[in-house]
């Protein structure tokens, strides 16, 4: 390591320039987090730009921080620069791999100080000792598991405490290539799952064998970057994915990191500090900070398009973090590294998150109360305070906090205790009331038998009007669907108005369910009703089924009229109309432990409804069992075809509208020009 005196500094100023701390602690970006209701809200700055490192190279691919030293893969000069920023007042610099490396892409340093370099041109992974001596070279494996036709172009590299080496290879979709400490290929690890879209499914259903052969095979995306955390867990990040872009693998290669509620499909690099805080860098310069449970903490940073502002990045390429709250961001376009420093607010939040992840809720209460005073929109605050109040057995307060945080498990646990307390208070009075009612009924019965009082005569129910009588008749679909369909076909016992009323009732009940149901079962956002969207969701399958079944039945000589199919379909779902709202009300007495009551109840309702639908369609068209099955399969096929046709029409209409809009804009432009 060469210490730079003033004269030496002047001579190599082009190699390294350390810009001193900015005069004004100002961040040219905003910091955001998830707020109440899963809304993105602005909060105080957690990290601010502090210094900037400028190098004499225009091509830097990767950076890594270890023990006070910044390791930089200098691709242009074919070496790894080691910058010591903490040992002395002035930075010192040394180099590794000169004369060996050709095009270093990724760099990693293990806990023992060994430096791993992924060289894409040499198609090798090199391992250097802390002194810079080459100790291991990993080349393309000759194992058939790796694949004879697969190239070995390493882009990123990491190593665990056992000495196993994990390599991200260009074009390899099987995951990370894993080598042991001696460089022998072991297997692939941590592959992504292939993404299958509706378009791909439809193509394989409709296309011929020749057309299918021309389609690209469905392959999962290759990981973009890899790192190893303090617990020896392997982390990957994949550009192009979103909810599952970040993965943390256990020893079996299974991802144990939850899907992200706030994420990006542009992640290019990842790093994890000693507290388990996850830092993910996106290509657009945004930095996402998560805890070990996948909760988003901060989002900040941004992209610079026209001016070079410290803290914004033209082409963010790599990230490295330190345990004292610094973040190093590589800008690949201009070959600079920006250092961000944590603020007092950021320290407070990360400290509270660390306590929370360790289950130290009571110890972190003071911190989170302080955070709540500073910014009441921080949703993680309410999740932690809910756990704090739960530990204190203040279940009502915990219930409210969990509701704000939309923590289903905490909400359920707190409600369980609240329900127990409520039952303990109400069971006694209810028992006394039932005893009083029973005694009163017994006395009344004795008095009637003794002739001391007269028994009241039931009033005769007046004759129902036409509409009410038709609604009462629909009950026959529940008791005897065979007779109900016969009466509907032969004697026209149900009118169009009654059928339409039942469809409207279905929509109204779907609205009511979202209002009266427990958030645990209908969702915390259920009361924010999109009435038009709910209208479409309620009726699209019904109307599509009715239309498709009518068209198919016309071809297959079904006897049913459109009216009979229309009314019979909604009448088949009377079990849902009768029991869905009461079941939604019951959910307010249930916790997640009793969710089987709701699930089983809905399964019975849907099974009952579909059995009725099968019977109704068979009786409406006078089909046998086999003919009815065939009719249903053809109906489903027709529904798919109509859906595809509607999508095609929508795309064409959109294109036509865009075409005429562009012509109109062109005409307006020419008129203004004249």
pLDDT of the residue at 621: 87
pLDDT of the residue at 464: 55
Q: In the chain, what is the straight-line distance between the N-terminal and C-terminal CA atoms, in Å?
A: 71
Give the three-state DSSP class for 216: coil
Highest mean pLDDT among 106-120, 433-447, 647-661 belongs to: 106-120
The mean pLDDT value for 420-435 works out to 84
pLDDT of the residue at 361: 83
| Burial per residue of 16-35, b for 16 or more beta-carbon CB atoms within 10 angstroms, e otherwise | beeeeebeeeebebebbbbb
Is a pLDDT exceeding 80 seen at residue 216?
Answer: no
Q: What is the pLDDT of residues 523-563, one digit of tens each?
A: 888 888 888 888 888 888 999 999 998 888 888 777 778 88
Q: What is the pLDDT of residues 556-568, one digit of tens each?
A: 777 778 888 888 8
Q: What is the pLDDT of residues 203-213, one digit of tens each?
A: 555 556 665 55
Q: In which band, very low, low, confident or very high, does the pLDDT at 474 lie, cut at 50, 70 and 90?
A: confident
Tokens of 589: 């007495």
Tokens of 516: 């009266």
Q: In which band, very low, low, confident or very high, does the pLDDT at 187 lie, cut at 50, 70 and 90?
A: very high
Q: Which residue has the higher pLDDT, 21 or 478?
A: 478
Closest C-alpha to 224, from 257, 192, 181 = 192
pLDDT of the residue at 530: 86
State the sign of the Cα–Cα–Cα–Cα dihedral 639, 640, 641, 646. positive
Is a pLDDT exceeding 70 seen at residue 8?
Answer: no
Which of the residue ranges 102-116, 254-268, 369-383, 457-471 would you say has the lowest mean pLDDT?
457-471
Average pLDDT, the chain: 85
Closest C-alpha to 182, from 215, 203, 159, 205 = 159
Query: Which run of H or of E encompasses 567?
Result: helix 562-572
Residues 6+ apart with CB under 8 A from 179: 125, 138, 141, 164, 165, 167, 185, 186
Q: What is the pLDDT of residues 140-182, one digit of tens each?
A: 998 888 988 889 999 999 999 999 999 999 989 899 999 999 9
Q: In which band, very low, low, confident or very high, does the pLDDT at 87 lie, cut at 50, 70 and 90?
A: low
pLDDT of the residue at 673: 62
User: How much of the chain exceeds pLDDT 70, in percent?
Assistant: 88
The mean pLDDT value for 594-598 works out to 90
Q: In which band, very low, low, confident or very high, does the pLDDT at 24 lie, cut at 50, 70 and 90?
A: very low
Q: What is the pLDDT of residues 490-517, one digit of tens each?
A: 777 778 888 888 899 999 999 999 999 9
pLDDT of the residue at 608: 93
The mean pLDDT value for 278-290 works out to 95
Q: Which residue has the higher pLDDT, 662 or 217?
A: 662
Using CA atoms of 370, 375, 380, 384 in order, give the dihedral in degrees to the nearest 10.
Answer: 20
pLDDT of the residue at 433: 87
Q: In which band, very low, low, confident or very high, does the pLDDT at 105 lie, cut at 50, 70 and 90?
A: very high
| Burial per residue of 208-221, b for 16 or more beta-carbon CB atoms within 10 angstroms, e otherwise | eeeeeeeeeeeeeb
Give the three-state DSSP class for 254: coil
Which of the residue ranges 19-23, 136-140, 168-172, 180-184 would you say has the lowest mean pLDDT?
19-23
Is a pLDDT exceeding 50 seen at residue 670?
Answer: yes
User: How much of the chain exceeds pLDDT 90, in percent?
Assistant: 44
């Amino acid at each position: 390591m060469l210490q730079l005196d003033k004269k030496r500094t002047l001579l190599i100023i082009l190699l390294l320039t350390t810009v001193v701390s900015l005069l004004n602690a100002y961040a040219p970006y905003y910091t955001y987090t998830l707020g109440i209701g899963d809304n993105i809200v602005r909060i105080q700055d957690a990290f601010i730009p502090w210094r900037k490192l400028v190098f004499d190279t225009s091509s830097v691919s990767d950076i890594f921080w270890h023990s006070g030293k910044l390791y930089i893969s200098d691709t242009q000069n074919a070496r790894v620069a080691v910058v010591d920023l903490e040992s002395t007042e002035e930075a010192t610099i040394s180099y590794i791999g000169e004369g060996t490396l050709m095009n270093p892409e990724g760099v990693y340093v293990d806990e023992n100080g060994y430096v791993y370099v992924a060289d894409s041109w040499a198609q090798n992974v090199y391992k250097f000792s802390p002194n810079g001596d080459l100790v291991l070279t990993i080349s393309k494996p000759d194992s058939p598991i790796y694949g004879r036709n697969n190239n070995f172009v390493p882009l990123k590299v990491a190593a665990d405490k056992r000495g196993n080496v994990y390599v991200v290879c260009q074009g390899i979709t099987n995951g990370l290539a894993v080598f042991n400490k001696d460089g022998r290929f072991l297997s692939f690890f941590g592959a992504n799952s292939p993404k299958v879209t509706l378009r791909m499914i439809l193509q394989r259903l409709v296309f011929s064998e020749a057309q299918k052969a021309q389609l690209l095979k469905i392959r999962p995306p290759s990981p973009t970057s890899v790192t190893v955390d303090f617990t020896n867990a392997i982390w990957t990040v994949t550009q192009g994915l979103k909810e599952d872009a970040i993965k943390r693998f256990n020893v079996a290669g299974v991802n144990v990191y939850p899907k992200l509620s706030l994420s990006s499909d542009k992640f290019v690099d990842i790093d994890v500090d000693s507290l388990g805080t996850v830092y993910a860098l996106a290509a657009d310069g945004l930095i996402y900070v998560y805890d070990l449970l996948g909760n988003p903490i901060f989002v900040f940073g941004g992209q610079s398009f026209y001016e070079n502002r410290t803290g914004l990045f033209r082409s963010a390429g790599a990230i490295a973090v330190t345990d004292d709250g610094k973040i190093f961001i590589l800008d690949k376009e201009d070959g600079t590294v920006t250092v961000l420093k944590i603020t007092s607010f950021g320290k407070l939040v990360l400290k509270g998150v660390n306590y929370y992840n360790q289950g130290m809720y009571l110890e972190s209460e003071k911190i989170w109360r302080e955070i709540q005073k500073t910014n009441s929109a921080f949703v993680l605050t309410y999740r932690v305070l809910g756990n704090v109040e739960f530990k204190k057995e203040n279940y009502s307060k915990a219930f409210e906090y969990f509701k704000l945080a939309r923590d289903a498990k905490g909400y359920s646990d707190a409600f369980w205790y609240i329900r127990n307390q409520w039952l303990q208070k109400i069971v006694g009075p209810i028992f006394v009331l039932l005893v009083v009612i029973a005694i009163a009924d017994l006395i009344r019965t004795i008095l009637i038998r003794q002739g001391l009082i007269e028994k009241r005569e039931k009033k005769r129910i007046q004759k129902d009007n036409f509409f009410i009588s038709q609604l009462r008749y629909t009950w026959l679909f529940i008791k005897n669907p065979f007779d109900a369909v016969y009466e509907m076909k032969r004697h026209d016992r149900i009118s169009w108005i009654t059928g339409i009323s039942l469809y409207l009732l279905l929509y109204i009940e779907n609205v009511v369910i979202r209002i009266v149901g427990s958030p645990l079962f209908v969702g915390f956002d259920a009361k924010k009703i999109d009435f038009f969207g709910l209208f479409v969701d309620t009726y699209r399958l019904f109307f599509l089924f009715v239309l498709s079944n009518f068209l198919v039945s016309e071809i297959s000589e079904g006897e049913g009229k459109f009216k009979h199919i229309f009314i019979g379909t909604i009448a088949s779902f009377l079990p849902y109309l009768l029991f869905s709202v009461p079941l939604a009300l019951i959910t307010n007495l249930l916790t997640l432990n009793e969710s089987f009551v709701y699930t089983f109840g809905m399964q019975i309702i849907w099974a009952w409804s579909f059995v009725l639908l099968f019977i109704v369609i068979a009786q409406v068209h006078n089909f046998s069992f086999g003919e009815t099955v065939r009719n249903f399969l053809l109906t489903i096929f027709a529904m798919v075809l109509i859906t595809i046709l509607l999508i095609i029409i929508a795309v064409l209409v959109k294109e036509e509208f865009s075409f005429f809009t562009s012509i109109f804009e062109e005409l307006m432009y020419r008129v203004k020009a004249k």
